[in-house]
Amino acid sequence: MFVAATEREDLNMLSCLLAKREGARRTVALVYQTELEHVVQNTGVDTLINPKRVAVTAILNRATATEEIEALEELQGGEASIREFLVKANNGLAGKSIAKLGLPEGSMVALINRGGEPLFPDEDEVLRGGDHLLVFTLKGQLPALEKLFR
């Protein structure tokens, strides 16, 4: 999976198209202008993420959040989604590296919010209690992913 998350939409789109050409199985690009989401939907980039839309959905999700599963956002036709999970000190995940979490296939930790600071982790990153994780996943993997964080 290739994720392009720069501040430049044009660079994100181009990077994803090049990654596809080089063999990336799935690509994800950040787009900031809502009107561009519709324009670039059929360009070959698998998933487009608009941070504004994600933020609005996150705000709405706060009203329906459980203790561990904090937010969700369905992506392009519902085939993929983003989930926000809280790592609690006592849920068995704190102290584990991302590689040892046992994430379902088709899932990846894209961002950790640790004490208000964003962190783009690699698989060796060790989770801490209080970390908020943004996890991309394919729709079919949601039950296994949610079970992992409960």
pLDDT computed for residue 63 by the predictor:
44
SS3 126: strand
Cα distance between residue 65 and residue 9, in whole Å = 31
CB 51 within 8 A of CB 133: no
pLDDT computed for residue 139 by the predictor:
77
SS3 26: coil
CATH number for 67-149 (one of 3.40.50.2300, 3.30.70.1450, 3.40.50.880, 3.40.50.720): it is 3.30.70.1450
Cα distance between residue 103 and residue 98, in whole Å = 8
Place of tokens 């999700």: 61
Per-residue pLDDT tens over the stretch 48-104 = 888 777 766 665 555 445 454 554 556 555 677 888 888 988 888 999 999 999 999
Handedness of CA 103, 104, 108, 113 (dihedral sign): negative
**What is the domain partition of the chain in residue ranges?**
2-49, 67-149
Cα distance between residue 37 and residue 48, in whole Å = 7
Work out the mean pLDDT of the chain and round it to a whole number.
81
